[in-house]
Amino acid sequence: MRDYKHIEVTPITGILGAEIAGVDLTQTVSDAALMEIEQAFGDHAVIVFRDQAMGFEDQKRFTRMFGEFGFEPYVKTMPDHPEIIEVIKEASESGMLNFGGNWHSDWSFQEAPPRATILHAKDIPPYGGDTAFANMYAAYETLSQGMRDMLDGLNVVHSARRPYGTEAKLFGREKRAMTIINSEEAHAEQVHPAVRTVPETGRKALFINPVYAIRFENMTERESRPLLDFLNTHATRIELTCRVRWQVNTLVMWDNRCVQHNAMNDYDGFRRQLHRTTVAGERPYLAERGGNGGMARSPAEAAAG
Ligand code: SIN
Q: Which atom belonging to ligand 1 lies closest to the Cα atom of 117?
A: 3
CA of 118 to the centre of ligand 1 (A): 9
CA of 304 to the centre of ligand 1 (A): 44
Is 121 in a helix, a strand, or coil?
strand
Predicted confidence at residue 1, as pLDDT, reads 78
Nearest protein CA to atom 6 of ligand 1, as residue:
263
CA of 103 to the centre of ligand 1 (A): 10
Predicted confidence at residue 161, as pLDDT, reads 95
Identify the CA nearest to 62 among candidates 275, 256, 247: 275
Predicted confidence at residue 32, as pLDDT, reads 98
Dist. CA 87–CA 252, nearest whole Å: 14
Nearest protein CA to atom 4 of ligand 1, as residue:
100
Catalytic residue among 106, 120, 176, 196: 106
Predicted confidence at residue 207, as pLDDT, reads 98
Q: Ligand 1 pocket by C-beta < 6 Å: which residues? A: 87, 99-100, 106, 117, 119, 131, 261, 263, 274, 276
130 labelled catalytic: no
CA of 219 to the centre of ligand 1 (A): 31
What 8-state DSSP symbol labels residue 83? T
Catalytic residue among 120, 272, 275, 276: 276
Q: Block means of pLDDT (10 residues each) for the chain, length 305 residues?
A: 94 98 98 98 98 98 98 94 97 94 98 98 98 98 98 98 87 81 94 98 98 98 98 98 98 98 98 98 91 55 43
Q: Which residues of 16-31 are buried (b: 16+ CB within 10 A; e: fewer)?
A: bbbbbeebebeeebee
CA of 266 to the centre of ligand 1 (A): 14
Q: Which atom belonging to ligand 1 lies closest to the Cα atom of 272?
A: 7
Identify the CA nearest to 207 among candidates 194, 197, 217, 216: 194
β-strand partners of 48: 19, 252
Whole-model pTM?
0.95
Predicted confidence at residue 289, as pLDDT, reads 77
Predicted confidence at residue 290, as pLDDT, reads 67
What 8-state DSSP symbol labels residue 81? B
Neighbouring CB atoms inside 10 A of 8's CB total: 13
Dist. CA 20–CA 13, nearest whole Å: 14
Dist. CA 150–CA 141, nearest whole Å: 13
Hey, what long-range contacts does 7-12 have (CB within 8 A, 24 or more apart)? 7/33, 7/36, 7/37, 7/40, 9/36, 9/40, 9/44, 11/44, 12/44, 12/46, 12/48, 12/242, 12/244
CA of 276 to the centre of ligand 1 (A): 8
104 labelled catalytic: yes
Our separate counts of H helices and E strands in the chain read 7, 15
Half-sphere exposure of 259 (CA within 13 A, CB side): 27
Beta strands in 85-160 (DSSP E): 85-89, 116-123, 131-135, 155-159
Question: Which residue among 261, 264, 270, 277 has the greatest number of ligand 1 atoms within 8 angstroms of its CB, and so is best to mutate?
Answer: 261
Q: Which atom belonging to ligand 1 lies closest to the Cα atom of 263?
A: 8
Dist. CA 26–CA 121, nearest whole Å: 14
Contact 267, 49 (CB under 8 A): no
